[in-house]
Chains A and B, each alone.
Chain A
């Protein structure tokens, strides 16, 4: 089910804003697939808002001729949003309730038109197919994603243009077992290489997030707050932790490539198993 992100006009003190707000709120109550966007949060590019925004179909409710909602949607990179101009829809209806009902009908029609997404680029998810190297050890299968760099603390880094994304390796995920709580550092936090920023708590252990590169955090995977299990289910993909703007990309030369890390992780896995047997 594709989510529907409705961006109501922010002119709450004016008729168009009031009608669009009321219609959006009522629709969100009766439909599970509808979420209400915030002009303010979208303007400030708050990470949670941006995630919802990028992963949903967008419907802009324009309360007056300024078309602020549609303009902002365009400015935030969406040219496939649906614009609904309130005064065109409600026309000559006089009373407030009548206007809200009419707008809800119109919005529902638009939402239910199954339109193919023109742009499906979701920048907050890792952008490429993940190719894995797999090695069996004891009853474990270790998976190491190709093309990433790895720290000896078992975190990965991928380069995405001028930014880097970091997460935990499959080995660390397996060693931790089920993660049930993730605390992430705030956007804008600056870390030096191997500083800790946030933590993960599993049924077995509490692990600091040791960031494998110096830089400023520009995005944090806040979906982990509700779904910490992504770390176990999908450590190289949905379980990513941060996107950073690195201070010095050359630092990554200190880290291991995938094959090298596999050798290291296997040795560590043997060590861990050995401890348990003792």
Chain B
């Protein structure tokens, strides 16, 4: 198993944020912000020392949910201060930003890190479109066109122009170009049907980042495999990454208390304002594609939220949706996830909501000392990804 360290860099200096969109920033305390940034960056650097294969940065806008509107800035710091780990940008929200800028900054990160960039291309979560005033209806089409343009910018041997639906450039020739040829490895979401098709088309690593249950995860992974075969290639274990929350402590009760509290803060405080914008987008636009697909995904996320309310924390751990407990339990949980889903990569979010930073470090240490050594062998085969049927 290969591990990716996910850290949203949340702003935890508030007790409540309300439901307004955008979240008023008068509560932002600059001094606290400075301290958090420094700590969070150190946590990311430490992730390499504890054995994580990739260190992730991701883009979110206008809320305390995450303090990384431009993850490439943080990625640059991480790239400069690490030697081995992949720099996972998971990712730039391609449809709402300038794709040439993405191509340039990702190329910079690849050069700065000596070829360690893992290029994530995400569509983001719905509120980002309100933040950057881009039509959610256009998000898939923008994503497809931007991806094609970015790959051209990386690989084209001659200066070129682009006449597209959303993007027009008459002369492109980026400096620097990426170190990794023809492209850095790519990560894309594979949650909706269309995003899965796109991930398969670009031979990306599929990010399964919202697990409803094991059946749902299996269905997503199998769909990705099917679409990849239609595109003429066979994904390996390494082409599937599942994301879960993680907390490890000396006892299950302590880990539960920490993670449950962090999740409550995450949804109750950090997630308030963005949910307001999200509902507007989901209800009033075709962000999730066709009406059928939209209804399906809406139901999925409603079920996830209601699952949080109707299923106890213990039940959700039992279902395999989190890594939570003692180190030994964590080993079992990772093993079960691999057995059930067949993925070769696991993205772990340890800083969930306001989980204390010292607890984050402790979990990292348990992973380094016990969980990683016991689970490295899982999914080592470079053969086809095999989920239980």
Whether A associates with B in a native complex is no
Residues of B within 8 A of A (CB): none
